[in-house]
Amino acid sequence: MGGWTPTSAALGGPLLLPYPALSWRTGSVVLNRFRRSTIDSEDQQKLDKSLEKTRRGVLGRIGDLFQANEISDELWDELEELLIMGDVGVDTTLKLVEATRTRVRKQGIKSAKDAYVALQEEMVTLLRADAPPLDIDNRNRLLTVVLVVGVNGSGKTTSIGKLARYYRHKGKRVVLAAGDTFRAAAIDQLKVWGDRAKVSVIAHEPGADPGAVVYDAIRASQESRDADILIVDTAGRLHTNFNLMKEMEKIRNVAQRQVHKAPHEVLLVLDATTGQNAVTQAQKFGESVAVTGVILTKLDSTAKGGVVLAIADQLGVPVRFVGTGEKIEDIAEFDPWVFVESLLAHGD
């Protein structure tokens, strides 16, 4: 991927960032660039809270490192060590530290405090802050189709339920499609989440053709249900990448034939608690499906939050949502600035 050009929409949004608690906590190292967050304050707080464990882990020590030291080779070595221990991954860590050092050299930065700001800005860049905005809440389109993919257990069905509620609360009409027809339990589970979110679920019998489910779901969304957003659950794992690819192609073709430019987003669900394995899994999935964004679940129950950086960097697609708990309201839109400030906040 890559090649995104910054858009004003990506930087736009109604709210100024950071909210007061965060800027207070980061103290003297408040980022010096004027910017806006695209997410609302409730999501900012959820994202911040879900990073508690990560902040208490090794990555929480980065702030102290820059406060206690002058810029030196040792400082960079220690930073590298902390990032690798903090699940950022070797490749992404080396890239991040190199980019920060280059910036420090080029800009003639002399104080560790300013170098710390440079590090934060490089992290934001790595997190694809220049990505186009998420293409779900689109007023100019009659029906938006979102495919949700990922291995079983990653939190796919839970996330779909959360998204259904999230967009319903924004005044959108949402329909869900039970495209994972391989397991009867998967269909039932989606129905349970549909009930919780108070949205309709279109399902066929177990073993049915997922393409037919998607076809019916689109028809229903366009006709009787008059929906704005259709979210499609898909099979978690098929025996081979080839099967998965064929299945995805089929669903994609059905969607494309009925709705212009569908699917509009393909969101890959990854479990943050698996750390670097999530990156490997994402790369494997990427071979079968053209992923446009990531939902990173279970951020609340892990200290491995640094993996967000590795995922955005190694996949080249932005993280769009994070799972912040097991309840239906426990989801937040992701924002690179909020993430970085929250991750590197210290002293609490």
Q: What residue ranges bind ligand GDP (CB under 6 A)?
A: 150, 152-158, 236, 297-298, 300-301, 323-326, 330
CB of 182 to ligand GDP, least distance (A): 12
Task: Return the number of the residue (55 or 298) whose C-beta is nearest ligand GDP.
Answer: 298
Residue pointed to by tokens 């930065």: 109
The residue type of 106 is K
Least distance from ligand GDP to the Cβ atom of residue 158, Å:
3
Binding site partner of 298, from ligand GDP, Mg ion, none, Cβ cut-off 5-8 A by kind:
ligand GDP
CB of 151 to ligand GDP, least distance (A): 7
**Residue 24, C-beta contacts closer than 8 angstroms, at least 6 positions apart:** none
300 contact choice in ligand GDP, Mg ion, none (CB below 5 to 8 Å, kind-dependent): ligand GDP
CB of 83 to ligand GDP, least distance (A): 24
User: Which of ligand GDP, Mg ion, none does residue 158 bind (CB under 5 to 8 Å by kind)?
Assistant: ligand GDP
Q: How far is the CB of 329 from ligand GDP (least distance, A)?
A: 11
Looking at the Cβ atoms of 127 and 186, the one nearer to Mg ion is: 186
**298 or 346: whose CB is closer to ligand GDP?**
298
Contact 129, 10 (CB under 8 A): yes
Q: Give, as ranges, the residues between 166 and 195 that touch Mg ion (CB under 5 A).
A: 186
What are 266's two structure tokens? Answer: 């393909």
Binding to Mg ion (CB under 5 A): which residues in 130-159?
156-157
Asked whether the bond before 206 is cis by omega within 30 degrees of 0, the reply is: no
Answer with the entry of ligand GDP, Mg ion, none that 323 interacts with (C-beta below 5 to 8 A by kind): ligand GDP
Q: Which is nearer to ligand GDP, 141 or 237 (CB)?
A: 237
Smallest separation, CB 189 to Mg ion (Å): 5
Calpha distance 348→336 (Å, rounded): 21
How far apart CA 160 and CA 328 sit, in angstroms, is: 10
Q: How far is the CB of 51 from ligand GDP (least distance, A)?
A: 13
Out of ligand GDP, Mg ion, none, what residue 153 binds, judged by CB under 5 to 8 A for its kind, is ligand GDP
Q: How far is CA 244 from the centre of its chain?
A: 22
Closest-approach residue to ligand GDP (CB): 323
Instruction: Give one DSSP letter per residue of 144-159, joined into a string.
Output: EEEEEE--TTSSHHHH
- The distance in angstroms from the start CA to the end CA of the chain is 38
Residue type, 250: K
Nearer to Mg ion, 50 or 154 (CB): 154
Q: Which does 200 bind (CB under 5 to 8 A by kind): Mg ion, ligand GDP, none?
A: none
Residue 63 or 210: the one with the smaller Cβ distance to Mg ion is 210
Going by the DSSP 8-state scheme, the letter that residue 264 receives in this structure is S
**194-214 b/e (C-beta count within 10 Å ≥ 16 → b):** beebebbbbbbeeebebbebb
For ligand GDP, the closer CB: 87 or 228:
87
CB 202 within 8 Å of CB 217: yes
Closer Cβ to ligand GDP, 63 or 293, answer by number: 293
| Residue 107: other Cβ atoms inside 10 A | 11
55 binds, among Mg ion, ligand GDP, none (CB under 5 to 8 A by kind): none
| CA 161 – CA 109 distance, rounded (Å) | 47
Residue 325 binds which entry of ligand GDP, Mg ion, none, CB below 5-8 Å type-dependent: ligand GDP
**Is the bond preceding residue 132 a cis peptide, omega within 30 degrees?**
no
- Residue whose CB is less far from ligand GDP, 38 or 50: 50
Would you tell me the crossing angle of helices 210-222 and 241-258 to the nearest 10 degrees?
Answer: 20
Question: Could you identify the residue written with the tokens 């709210």?
Answer: 15
C-beta nearest to Mg ion: residue: 157
Report the distance separating Cα 150 and Cα 326, nearest Å. 18
Interface ranges with Mg ion (CB under 5 A): 156-157, 186
